[in-house]
Every structure is written in structure tokens, then in C-alpha cells.
Amino acid sequence: GNKKKEVQGKLAEAQKLLNTLTAKEKAALDAEQARANRSSTERVDLKDAPPASGRASAAFSAAQSQIGKPYVYGATGPSSFDCSGLTSWAYAQAGVSIPRTSEAQANAGTRIYNQSDLKVGDLVIFYGDMHHVGLYAGNGQVLHAPHTGAVVRYEAMGNMPFQFGVRI
């Protein structure tokens, strides 16, 4: 049974190596994520796009106050948010009730298909199945709760497949 012990030893060694590697990779990924979170929670140049309305402006300000809060699936604030949790919470602060999910929010107002017609505070819907939503921030930026492991932050609209905007 010496051969078996040797093989098991080699296997254990390989597993250990694999574990340290994934820990290293995970650390690298975490660092990358932290960097992305940091750079996009600082002041982004939003230019001076006018808000869609007073309500949209109030909703956008509310969302800005949540920058740096963690993304948690199903969360509707105020300590953590998912994408549509953030947008519905933000509009609620402006006294406007919109549906809870990104798919329902896609139908909550007037659709805007041309990105250049977007105004600050408009909802912006991403992906063909409309599973992601954020608030238009001006200058080609979206303010959103991206995904698990990320925080509420600004991001370039071009990083995701834009479908249309929704003016509430």
C-alpha cells in the first residue's frame, strides 16, 4: 500500500497548490473589484445634463447618497440594494412609487430609445431580458447597484448592453 500513500500524498499536495492558487486568484479578483468600487464611487465628471424633472432630480440625489452601499440580491435599502431596489428606493424618496423589478420598471413610463435624449434621473434598462436597471447620471454614466461583491457606484453606460431609458 506504499504506492497508494504516495499517490494520495501527491493528490493532497496538488490540492493544496490549487487551494493557494485560488486564494491568490480570489485575492486578485477582490482587489480588482475594490479598485473598481473605489474609482467609481469617487466624484465622476457628470457634465451638466439637466434632470428629467424635479422628481427625477430628487430620486437621483437620493441614489447618490447611497454610493458605496453594498449590492445584496433582493435588498431594497437603506443599508444594501439590488439594482431595482436602488431605483425604486430612490424614486420613493422623491415621493414616487414605481414597480419593484427592473422588468416592471421597464414599463413604468415613457421609453427613450436614443441615448442622447436621456436626462439625469431617467431609468436606464440594460440587457435583452431587461434584468438590470440604473439611473442615468449624465455624460454617458449610469449610477447603479451592479452585482454581488460590488457597491452602488457610477459606471460607463457602454460597459453593458443599453436597451432604452424610461422617463418616470
- Give pLDDT, residue 37: 62
Reported confidence tier of residue 7, pLDDT bands at 50, 70, 90: confident
Domain spans of the chain? 40-167
Percent of the chain at pLDDT exceeding 70: 85
Give the pLDDT band of residue 61 (cuts 50, 70, 90): very high
Catalytic center residues: 83, 132, 144
CA distances in angstroms from 63 to 55, 80, 89, 129, listed in the order given: 12, 12, 8, 24
Chain mean pLDDT for the chain:
89
Among candidate residues 106, 124, 104, the one with its CA nearest the CA of residue 114: 124
Q: Are 163 and 126 in contact (CB under 8 A)?
A: yes
Q: What is the CATH number of domain 40-167?
A: 3.90.1720.10
With bands split at pLDDT 50, 70 and 90, how would you rate the model's confidence at 79? very high
Q: What is the pLDDT of residue 154?
A: 95
More confidently predicted of 25 and 106:
106
pLDDT of residue 12: 80
pLDDT digits (tens, 9 = 90+) for 23-57: 777 677 667 666 766 666 655 667 667 788 999 99
- Model confidence at 111, in pLDDT bands (50, 70, 90)? very high
